Amino acid sequence: MKFILSINYFYWLIISALFFAAGEFLSKKFALEPKWTSVAFVLIAYMLGILSWLPAILQKNQLSIVGVIWSVLSLLATVLIGVFIFSEKLSVLGVIGVVTAFISIVLLSIG
């Protein structure tokens, strides 16, 4: 347990958000080509994301900050997957939203 808590909460949030984004990616792949085996991989990705979240909230113990940072990180990862892997388009307003979300991570991390 000491090793888990020795890793900064922000890194756990990044890991958790990446697993969540992997779950989103796998969900999109499932939507394009449904297979029951894909469902298992989606569930595993989301489960690992949750398990990665727990050390972060245990270490920081501020849901208002940790929750928002996680939400924005997972949002950014999901948007990047949609745009770069699945060639989805992002409007100007969407780009402004992503930039604003990134700014919120910086502000919350500083505070």
Residues 6+ apart with CB under 8 A from 69: 10, 13, 105, 108, 109
The one-letter amino acid code at 12 reads: W
d(CA 69, CA 84): 22
Model pTM above 0.95: no
At 26-57, the pLDDT tens digits run 999 999 999 999 999 999 999 999 999 999 99
Domain coverage including residue 60: 2-110
The one-letter amino acid code at 35 reads: K
Q: How many domains does the chain have?
A: 1
Residue 25: C-alpha distances to residues 57, 61, 71, 85 (Å): 25, 29, 16, 9
